[in-house]
A and B are shown apart, each in its own frame.
Chain A
């Protein structure tokens, strides 16, 4: 039986409902803050100020948002094929190999703008390769991709520790990280752009990989809604039986989609490695792969939604750090609680307010309710 709810206008579906969900999450967060004896309004003020109140804050927010756009897109693309890729963390981690290899090989020879495209290609190849194995196992052996991609996160972590310690760590160093790249392996910061708006980026690491992330959004939009393979991905995601009927091979789509998804996750490595640290360190992904799941859910797997959700989570990361600094009672863990509440309301409880909002729209629309044919299927 089809959902007997009113069809909402697109703006309500894509803007109003997420907004209501986020507001609900913040209200509950406010109660938690109140519970530990802090003033929630002050906390929100601090959080927003920390994220957007000054140039450096904005720079950090955008830096985090760049990570989340990549990983959010990766999850979103897989969603369209009905696949739940929770291996973004591992794919981004292994994608870092491609970035680091390109930078280590070229940073002393060529300028950054030669290294950059090769590093992108490297991140794509390694990220996609890491996604290929679970994809192949799903397509050919029926091993569930949720299980395999999670397992591959752990394998990636172990593999990277091994490689960093055994191969990348420069001689004489105890740190499990590569050497620091020279200028040819470093992406320009967005300081100039910030100055244009009269802001001072300070020490914030926002860099031009943000534009690579935005380009990836455009790419994903065209891929999913404007290409034949995107059509096949969506058909498979919505109705695998119809896909088979239409002559689409779900196995092929599973592999193609996961390669694209893994490539997008892999590109996330550009931002911390070439954009910020100028070296590849242990754990540089830092949970961005998992935040990507929330970003994709909240952004409804649409690139525009992914950007908005990524910025919101970037704000939570940066503003949260600022808040924890200013209010010692609100620890880092509290910020995680707030993030969890946002994920809970925006992701898991996405449809909680929908019936009420539908009714409100129906009441506002007034007029005569019409009897729609799908009110009682199979009567």
Chain B
């Protein structure tokens, strides 16, 4: 049903030389779970090769095998045509493979230089190694546009620069092939663009880059070839120039999907959620929210854009009653909730405010519970779920089954442990629980993080349906595309402040600048 894997000579950049990396018949199972099956892939030297696939498609497992974290059950790895045995990350590095992990492996109190030479100090005394490293770093920075101050403390650098240090680390160790796992998830659009320039430069200098991502736009923008993984298999490998985002999405999911969100004009009603001069400080005394004010009306979706960690989480938590603010006011349907003390998640829920938290594993679900137990989380004091001090198990399970049907949660098993549902279905469990309460106000954090494309489509439709039913929705997402396609108004947060407001037609570049703290129009939100 899908394109056959091409043989290596068809790939551009491969020429007659053997591919930089060749995987032949890689198989890997965890217990009965076959994470990778019969993977054949060739990455041409001097190319950027993208790997896309939904969560659990086996991308990370495959790269972990290549980097020596796991051993394949069967199959062969060839590097530059030579069979290679990679049993540890040391061997991978020795074979010229470097990896930039999604979560950085850095020692934050160390300087850039110290991080770079960590593990390759070149002797018991540091002096000589440091002198050599200085020279080498200067060369790398010149050649690849990777400027970082070698004496800077890594923990004090912005995320984009920390990532640069990771790349430098790999290059310093002589990496010829660089694997990047979801590298843009923490970057602003401008930082991502810079990263792509760096990657292209690396390619032009003859390095090979493997880019793992779920963002199709990035695949189209930067890769030469792309492999699509689904359910542990590579379903297609092709030249990026000969494909399209729609085609890739279809291959990832196995059916055609709608990438665009259909929505009519918003019918704006009365203000339901008013936030006035909200300021919040965390346990360590760091200001998380600074003088934030905005209003969400009935019948509209207000999107909050921003790079992760700029106050969005604190904002959701304060409104939801999980965290108290230092000063400011929040009005729910015209009446205040005690945001500086007195408000609580239960009290806020009683005011018809529902909250889909950003982190469904950490906050929204108890993954060790069976599905039906999670379907009442936060509403477990409702009389319909209780008889006296006892839980009304029949009512709870029947209720859960109803939601499972309505939201097409799979498998449709209300007794299954929640951890055994896929990310998308877990998210549907949370959404079903919060949306079926028919709240007036819905707070939604990262509704589609780690969710497969098929479920994203469904979740977006549900959010639009709620908006059209006259609810006020506050949407927080780090996916700029999602914010732009769903929101009726966009607020951009930076360093705990709302730096500006734009319409949904604002360009990505404009929003990107604001996400970096620059408001070109200098207007208050």
Contact = CB atoms under 8 A, between A and B. Distances in A.
Interface string A1-20: 01011110000000000000
B419 A2 contact: yes
Nearest to A232: B380
Interface string B128-146: 0000000000000000000
Nearest to A373: B422
A228 interface: yes
Interface in B39-60: 53-60
Most chain B CB within a 10 A radius of its CB, from A242, A358, A369: A242
A300 B232 CA distance: 35
A331 interface: no
Interface string B204-248: 000000001000000000000000000110000000000000000
B125 interface: no
Given A242-B365, A377-B423, A370 B56 contact: no
B345 to A, nearest CB: 4
B349 A247 contact: yes
B389 interface: yes
Nearest to A4: B30
Interface stretch (A29-37, A206-214, A233-241): A233-241
A371 B34 contact: yes
B13 interface: no
Contacts of B362: 239, 241-242
B58 A371 contact: yes
A166 B357 CA distance: 58
Interface string A336-379: 00000000000000000000001100100100011111111111
Interface string B337-374: 00000001111010000010100001111111100010
B393 interface: yes
A230 B389 CA distance: 10
Interface string A82-101: 00000000000000000000
B363 A375 contact: no
Contacts of A5: 30-31
Nearest to B232: A371
A379 B57 contact: yes
Interface string A200-234: 00000000000000000000001000111111101
A244 interface: yes
Given A245-B355, A378-B450, A358 B363 contact: no
B354 to A, nearest CB: 12
A373 B55 contact: yes
A371 B231 contact: yes
B437 to A, nearest CB: 13
B378 A369 contact: no
A369 B363 CA distance: 32
Interface in A131-185: none
A370 B321 CA distance: 42
A311 B328 CA distance: 60
A16 to B, nearest CB: 16
A246 interface: yes
Interface centre among B55, B182, B321, B362 (most CB of A within 10 A): B55
B322 interface: yes
Interface string A243-254: 011110000000
Given A239-B366, A247-B346, A365 B32 contact: yes
B55 A379 contact: yes
A379 B53 contact: yes
Given A226-B391, A227-B391, A376-B61, A4 B33 contact: yes
Given A227-B390, A231-B391, A362 B55 contact: no
A310 B283 CA distance: 44
A241 B373 CA distance: 16
A379 B212 contact: yes
A238 B418 CA distance: 12
B201 interface: no
B352 to A, nearest CB: 14
Contact of B35 (A4, A231, A246): A4
A6 B369 contact: no
A375 B61 contact: yes
B387 to A, nearest CB: 10
Contacts of B344: 247
Given A365-B32, A369-B33, A245 B56 contact: no
Contact size range, B:
35 or more
B395 interface: no
A376 B423 contact: no
B29 interface: yes
Nearest to A241: B363
Given A226-B391, A228-B381, A242-B364, A362 B346 contact: no
B102 A378 contact: yes
A78 B355 CA distance: 30
B31 A6 contact: yes
Nearest to B64: A376
A244 B251 CA distance: 40
B212 A369 contact: no
B386 interface: yes
Nearest to B374: A242
Given A5-B30, A241-B362, A247-B344, A375 B389 contact: no
Contacts of A376: 35, 55-61
B345 A362 contact: no
B320 interface: yes
B82 interface: no
Contacts of B355: 245
A377 B37 CA distance: 17
A4 B31 contact: yes
A212 to B, nearest CB: 21
Contact of A375 (B58, B373, B380): B58
B520 interface: no
A245 B30 contact: no
Given A247-B344, A378-B60, A378-B450, A371 B55 contact: no
Interface string B147-174: 0000000000000000000000000000
B55 A226 contact: no
A247 B378 contact: yes
Contacts of B349: 247
Contacts of B260: none
A6 B27 CA distance: 18
Contacts of B346: 247
Nearest to B59: A379
A6 B32 CA distance: 6
A4 B57 CA distance: 14
B6 interface: no
Contacts of A372: 33, 56, 420
A203 B249 CA distance: 77
B32 A245 contact: no
A77 B230 CA distance: 43
Given A235-B377, A238-B368, A228 B389 contact: yes
Contacts of B366: 234-235, 238-239, 242
B35 A375 contact: yes
A365 B386 CA distance: 40
A229 B391 CA distance: 9
A5 B29 CA distance: 10
B31 A373 contact: no
A362 to B, nearest CB: 4
Interface in B54-84: 54-61
B389 A359 contact: no
12 contacts: A4-B31, A226-B393, A228-B380, A235-B377, A238-B366, A239-B367, A242-B363, A242-B377, A245-B322, A245-B357, A375-B61, A377-B60
Interface of B: 29-35, 37, 53-61, 102, 182, 212, 231-232, 320-322, 344-347, 349, 355, 357, 362-369, 373, 377-378, 380-381, 386, 389-391, 393, 419-425, 450
Interface of A: 2, 4-7, 222, 226-232, 234-235, 238-239, 241-242, 244-247, 358-359, 362, 365, 369-379
Given A231-B380, A371-B56, A377-B450, 6 more contacts: A4-B31, A228-B386, A370-B33, A371-B232, A375-B232, A379-B56
